[in-house]
Structure 1
């Protein structure tokens, strides 16, 4: 990764691009090839998948076939995947290897524990905590072997992250959580800043709900940008990486145009003031 201007430095010493392509719900090899091709052409160098997305094979294949077309090598892109909730605990090591195999990679740049709970367990079951610890030990082993260049977590709350920071041998490099103007996550961001964990956003558009928010529309109109660009720029201007997803090449291109404009401090404050703790995705706060 050579473009340090548009990336963040992880605690591993590696650079992670501020802009990545999210691939949740992106299915079918033709669709994935088209989208990845558009993303590479638009300058995306980070691709985010997960075991539960059921597209690791296709994403890996698309990158292998398309990188040469764009004059790129494997080391020019940053690839993230995640451990599924069904594989927490005893099955974590096997699942880690499966993601490597399905992506067809010798190494994954970033591998995350996708969720603090275990599929099939009640949210209050104390085994959730034990399984998280066992999963993290598996990720640490793959990190030690160089198979995962960085490891981290997703959807962890302050409590989950503090628990991990006390017990881990390898500190998490990234926390990926829902983040947008209605869910500013101040306490989590402060903890990440204190402990050197990169805070990364998903669902920057609030699953689309924020695209019609009057306050966001007003900011977008005032600066002559799309609503999606404004919401994404709000995050990257705070040095928070984003993972917009779309299967439409024109929108992939539009979402990637974040680094040739800047929001005023007044507009940044207007967006931040929308914070009301609203989640549009999953709520991990009750997971033991």
Structure 2
């Protein structure tokens, strides 16, 4: 099994997409709708026209300029290589077409499980939530066990129920961590419509921004330390000079969707997007 396949206790580094060990699953299994994010429409199960025989993207370096910015903000959390190399044992859908339909059904299920692993691994590292460590470890182990199920079991898995259980635990974790910030700093913006909001220099330490719509919001120089950012929509949000160190449940996909610069402070587990200003 390749070293990049996530294993119990492997940490977040193993939950990063490795396209070289994937059969281009996000380029085939998912539906694309012609829009500002995608230059074409295609049905789930149909390969994108840019997918090459070696399962690499033919325009990877020019995705944004070629009309596919949506591809640059997608993150499978390492599910692609797990399905390709472990669940289907390296048998790709081109050479083994009988596996194609099931492989494409398993991929989005695995992607959801890997996203939960990303959040739970972070939750386990949060000292302020040490009282929940046993529950978090249990949820992490249970989720990892699900990722090892055979393909025919994964396709019938009730992921929604498992997600609900984990989501409730992550919310309790978030509340404990954010409680370490002075109460006057904690603001509830869960699911809030903050599209285009002027939040330049805002003190958002410990804020609840779960599922908030921050599309094109100006967060220049904002302090987002210990803010819960799970599910927040950062498309075209301006994060130049913002401080995201210690923010809760931030993902690479959220950063890739935003705009920032060399002064944006990021958690060590995430990368500065290549399209950001320097």
TM > 0.5 fold call: no
Higher strand share: 1
Greater relative CO (CA pairs within 8 A, separation 6+): 1
Based on CA coordinates, which of the two structures has the bigger radius of gyration?
A: 2
Q: Give the TM-score normalised by structure 1.
A: 0.29
Higher helix share: 1
